[in-house]
Amino acid sequence: MAPEKGRWVLVASGLVINLCLGTLYSWSVFVDPLFEYFTTSLGQEVTANDVLLPFSVFIAIFAITMLLTGKYVETLQPRGVTIIGGVLTGLGWLSASMATSISMLTIVFGVIGGIGVGIAYGATIAVAARWFPDRRGLAVGMTVLGVGFSALLTANLAGYFIAVYGVMTTFRIFGIGILIITVPMALPLTFPPAGWRPAGWNPPGPEEGPHVTCECNRSEMVTTPAFYGLWLCYFIGSIAGLMAVSIAKPVGTDLVHIEAGLATALVGFFAIFNGGGRPVFGVLTDRITPGNTAMLSFVLIALAGLLMWLMPTAPAYIIAFALLWGCLGGWLAIAPTATASYFGTCDYPRCYGVVFLAYGAGAIAGPQLAGFVRTTTGNYLGVFPAVFLLAIVGFLIAFILMKPPVKP
């Protein structure tokens, strides 16, 4: 198969791998069953913050691992790195089935699983970015689409398995499934030969605009205003999106009072927007620049926060959470594409590892803020004015700082 066609196979492989890695996004379906399991079955006292903690730690460790292991994508090649990551992710889910406390669940699920996803996820993105210099936003968006669409399948599967087998057995089932799927799907992953470019494509030259890609290493990247603008915007977008992911079902059942089965189904519905937001925002990033796409995302996030704040009803809930999940998916395409567009691909795994720390920081701040609001006020309504204000701040930062560096 010609490279111009064969490279799409690598995108498909990355999509399926990320579909498994993204099982985490069905976490809101686990929240109430875990709360019941630890309080009723084990007689332990747990809070909303406690049950959200494994989710937060998982994504934080995921982000830190991407930063620390990015350089090994080059030395071990993406195939080997992705296999290691898939195995650790599966073991994290398997180990979670044996947890007897929130602390143990946080360590085995959050740490082991987070390390696994952090290793494998970055490798799949690096492969897409290398093979598609001509359509980078689309390729990266399609690769990470699997993470976003994951909850469409896994949320409903989790609801079914939890009802039939119990929450801890569901962890075991998912762990086995991740191991079976990710390892063989990682086998085709490889980088293109040095200097390869798609037939008939030439990189843009200086005459095509005042800004062109700067081939920066990580040390050079962190000295630019564009990096800090991208990092802060990614952080704010992640706070809003991961907060919505972590509390989607409880908000539906507790705040707008819809039936639990419908709330579970809606988590899968929201995943359509999370997955679809990745290629859509990836293409927008290619066409209207990362900065403009970032500002658009914050307009949508602000509208979602305002809608839920002023009208906490079932229709408003569906619209607002679809927007929030969609924009989270969008940021998982905007940020990696912007990193490659602004700073090049010569040191891409390590550069994006630093940028991705914003996602990990958002994973701690977002769900824990939601848990704090729920614990102190008795419901999640206070989350949404905070989302609205954060979106305004993000829009201003994107307007001022998200501009590509000028090539020396």
Per-residue pLDDT at 216: 83
Residues 6+ apart with CB under 8 A from 188: 9, 10, 13, 79
Q: How far is it, in rounded angstroms, from Cα 117 to Cα 248?
A: 22
Per-residue pLDDT at 205: 56
pTM passes above 0.75: yes
H/E segment holding residue 278: helix 260-288
Q: Which of 278, 37, 28, 275 is nearest to 155 (CA)?
A: 28
Q: How far is it, in rounded angstroms, from Cα 158 to Cα 28?
A: 10
Residue 188 per-residue DSSP state: T
pLDDT, one tens digit for every residue, the chain (408 residues): 788 888 999 999 999 999 999 998 889 889 889 999 999 988 998 887 899 899 989 988 988 888 888 778 878 889 999 999 999 999 999 999 999 999 999 999 999 999 999 999 889 988 998 898 888 778 887 888 888 788 888 988 999 999 999 999 999 999 999 999 999 999 999 999 888 888 877 776 544 443 345 688 888 999 999 999 999 999 999 999 999 998 998 899 989 999 988 998 999 899 899 888 888 998 899 889 999 999 999 999 999 999 999 999 999 999 999 999 999 989 988 998 899 889 987 887 788 889 989 998 998 899 989 989 988 998 999 999 999 999 999 999 999 999 988 765
- Domains of the chain, earliest start first: 3-193+211-401 (1.20.1250.20)
Contact 29, 99 (CB under 8 A): no
Q: Which of 226, 200, 198 is nearest to 340 (CA)?
A: 226
Q: How far is it, in rounded angstroms, from Cα 274 to Cα 331?
A: 10
User: How many C-alpha atoms does 127 have within 13 Å on its Cβ side?
Assistant: 32
- SS3 category, 380: coil
